[in-house]
A and B are shown apart, each in its own frame.
Chain A
Amino acid sequence: MNKIELIHTLPNVFQSRTDIVSDIWNQDVTFEKGKKYLVEANSGTGKSSLCSYIYGYRHDYQGQILFDGEDIRRYAVAKWTDIRKNHFALLWQELRMFPELTAWENVEIKNKLTGYQTKEQILEWFDMLGITDKLDAKMGRMSFGQQQRVALIRALCQPFDFLFVDEPISHLDDTNSAIMGRIMTAEADKQGAGIIATSIGKHIDLEYERVFNL
């Protein structure tokens, strides 16, 4: 997947509003593989909606979203499974981790599916992010900031053309944010992938190609 295009995309709930000023909604926007983008947003401007539309689990929008020129509304279940497994990594704002499993198991469950990263690489990331001591801790017992770091590692355990990170550093200090940025950039560059980051204030420092105001 080389290109994500939004063509006059607008959430259905915004349909009746005429006062929308946005670089993304109701515009023609293209995200290209290999480049980094930042989407800045205020609360309630549809940031999470954007995630769910391009990740294929909500379709309550008008206009079109195209992957490499193909309308994603027509994608079948198997196609979405393939995209989520092999082409598109997403770090959710709400993380979507499994509190019953340990930090290690949360990453392992994904890596077993894709078989993409080595155990050494994963352990190295845990170490870099300073949460090695939490490997065997139940996810539910960890702080949100710690969970955010585990969630990033899980997101990286797959091949991807785009990495979509939704407020990745909302609960992190600057040091850890910087480490996270380095890890993300390194992995994206290695895979030649693009990064789309969102923020509602504090944003992760990357070399952004373009900054959108949602």
Chain B
Amino acid sequence: MKLVWKLLRQHISIPQFLGFFFANLVGVVIILLGVQFYNDYKALDNEDSFMKADYLIVNKKIGALSGLTGKSNAFTRAEIEELKNEDFVERIGAFTPSSFNVKARFDVEGFVNFSTEMFFESVPDEFVDVKSDAWDYQEGSNEIPIILPKNYLDLYNFGYAQGKGLPKLSEGILGAMKLNVQIAGNGNNDSFDGRIVGFSSRLNTILVPEKFMQWANQQYADGEAVKEPTRLIMEVNNPTDDRITSYLQERDYETDEDKLDASKTTFILRVIVSIVMVVGMVISILSIYILMLSVFLLVQKNSTKLENLLLIGFSPAKVSFPYQALTVGLNVLVFVLAVVIMLLVRGIYLEMFENFFPDLQVPGIWQALVVGMGLLVIVSIFNIIAVYGKVMSIWKRKD
């Protein structure tokens, strides 16, 4: 085979192969980066780690009329049933409001002294994406896990603390502190420790575990019947589905606009990434075209040698092998280098991401690897077949 290679490497044009190599490298890097960036971005989008992306929160509109007529803005059981039966809804859960008084105090010696009336709500645990032991309430325990709206922290940091010259608080610091919670009602008055599990930018409420809510509502409610829920949380299979919007509009329901905006951003990003990937694909296809042209040219220039090899008893497969190995080798090299470059570029943008979202959990690179491998295999098979076909045309003396 060494001698065959010595023969067939004649007329190999290094500039042509370098041209292919770099063009294809650019194409494959763009494709891999597109896949990887999209995946990484999706992780950013899910930055609210307490709620999965495809949850929508629905409530009834409060209009001037409903205020006057005293018409309830709570959902009846029939309405919830109806919503549950829509096929765009995967799961649905109700917000349970607290039927007792809550007073929270937050004090750090000499630092902040903060006391406020507030309320609790809960949703079924399956909608809260926190490790189960952190989101568990043991009956009789003095400690309640709480998720606060991120807005509260922003209000404090950028409004209150700014105005009063108080120190700003980070999520981390707050998480380590205890909130003193006084719960009163039904003739009882007890004190609890609120442990802040996290801040949610999606949930505009103060969330406690459902188990605690059930227990506390029994314990402290002033004999009132359990209230009907005013807000629902639902998981939908596709948040961009038009039917959701029209369904909600027909019934005068509202949903959190942010979520739909985020979906739009994701959608636009998906379009942009797709365009970029198509560009990468085009570059790759063109470069593969260059490769095929230069291999064909090489076969043409060496056709006498190839024909003589075939005539002295070499099989077409044996004669094709050096050029097949050459192209596949180049493809593998491109793939490996493209993955390395992708990892380097990813390192740079991930660093930027991490400045904004320190707790960012990024996905692995396997998807990009699978795409790259897929390209490698498809292109290599194509090359192998094309070279063999060219050699066979010499065998059949059809050039």
Chain A residues proximal to chain B, CB less than 8 Å: 55, 57-58, 77-78, 81, 84-86, 90, 92, 96-98, 100-101, 105, 108-110, 112-114, 154, 158
A105: nearest chain-B partner, CB-CB: B3
Say whether A98 contacts B313, CB under 8 Å: no
Within 8 A of A (CB), among B301-346: 305, 308-309, 311-316
Within 8 A of A (CB), among B10-38: 10
A83: nearest chain-B partner, CB-CB: B313
How many angstroms from the CA of A55 to the CA of B311 in the assembled complex?
Answer: 8
Say whether A100 contacts B313, CB under 8 Å: no
Contacts of B308 in A (CB 8 A): 96-98
Say whether A109 contacts B3, CB under 8 Å: yes
* Candidates A58, A101, A105, A110; contact of B313 at CB < 8 Å: A110
26 CB < 8 A contacts A-B: A57-B311, A57-B395, A57-B397, A77-B316, A77-B392, A77-B395, A81-B316, A84-B312, A84-B313, A90-B311, A92-B311, A96-B308, A96-B312, A98-B7, A98-B305, A98-B308, A100-B10, A100-B305, A101-B3, A101-B6, A109-B309, A109-B312, A110-B313, A112-B3, A154-B312, A158-B313
Contacts of A113 in B (CB 8 A): 312-314
A56: nearest chain-B partner, CB-CB: B311
Say whether A110 contacts B312, CB under 8 Å: yes
* Candidates B6, B305, B315, B397; contact of A77 at CB < 8 Å: B315
Most-contacted residue by chain A among B305, B311, B313 (CB, 10 A) = B313
Known A58-B397, A100-B10; judge A78-B3 contact (CB<8 A).
no
- Asked if B4 is at the interface of the complex by the 8 Å CB criterion, the answer is yes
A84: nearest chain-B partner, CB-CB: B313
Say whether B4 contacts A114, CB under 8 Å: no
Contacts of A100 in B (CB 8 A): 6-7, 10, 305
Contacts of A84 in B (CB 8 A): 311-313
How many angstroms from the CA of A90 to the CA of B313 in the assembled complex?
Answer: 10
Say whether B6 contacts A78, CB under 8 Å: no
Contacts of B6 in A (CB 8 A): 100-101, 105
A108 to chain B, nearest CB (A): 6
Known A98-B305, A98-B308; judge A78-B315 contact (CB<8 A).
yes
How many angstroms from the CA of A77 to the CA of B393 in the assembled complex?
Answer: 12
Contacts of A114 in B (CB 8 A): 313
B308 to chain A, nearest CB (A): 4
Known A57-B397, A58-B397, A77-B395; judge A101-B312 contact (CB<8 A).
no
A8 to chain B, nearest CB (A): 24
A58: nearest chain-B partner, CB-CB: B397
Given contacts A84-B312, A92-B311, A98-B7, 19 further A-B contacts (CB under 8 A): A57-B397, A58-B397, A81-B314, A81-B315, A81-B316, A85-B313, A96-B311, A96-B312, A98-B305, A100-B6, A100-B305, A101-B3, A101-B6, A109-B4, A112-B3, A113-B312, A113-B313, A113-B314, A114-B313
How many angstroms from the CA of A113 to the CA of B10 in the assembled complex?
Answer: 20
How many angstroms from the CA of A88 to the CA of B313 in the assembled complex?
Answer: 10
Which 10 residue pairs of A and B lie closest in terms of their CB atoms, listed nearest first?
A85-B313, A84-B313, A109-B3, A81-B315, A96-B308, A110-B312, A105-B3, A98-B7, A113-B313, A100-B10
How many angstroms from the CA of A83 to the CA of B6 in the assembled complex?
Answer: 25
* Candidates B3, B10, B309; contact of A108 at CB < 8 Å: B3
How many angstroms from the CA of A100 to the CA of B311 in the assembled complex?
Answer: 17
Contacts of B7 in A (CB 8 A): 98, 100-101, 109
How many angstroms from the CA of A57 to the CA of B309 in the assembled complex?
Answer: 13
How many angstroms from the CA of A114 to the CA of B316 in the assembled complex?
Answer: 16
Most-contacted residue by chain A among B3, B6, B305, B316 (CB, 10 A) = B3
A135 to chain B, nearest CB (A): 15
A117 to chain B, nearest CB (A): 14
How many angstroms from the CA of A70 to the CA of B297 in the assembled complex?
Answer: 38
B313 to chain A, nearest CB (A): 4
Contacts of A85 in B (CB 8 A): 313
A96 to chain B, nearest CB (A): 4
Contacts of B312 in A (CB 8 A): 84, 96, 109-110, 113, 154
Contacts of B311 in A (CB 8 A): 55, 57, 84, 90, 92, 96
How many angstroms from the CA of A84 to the CA of B316 in the assembled complex?
Answer: 13
Q: Mark B193-209, 1 if CB is under 8 A from A, else 0.
A: 00000000000000000
Contacts of B3 in A (CB 8 A): 101, 105, 108-109, 112
A155: nearest chain-B partner, CB-CB: B312
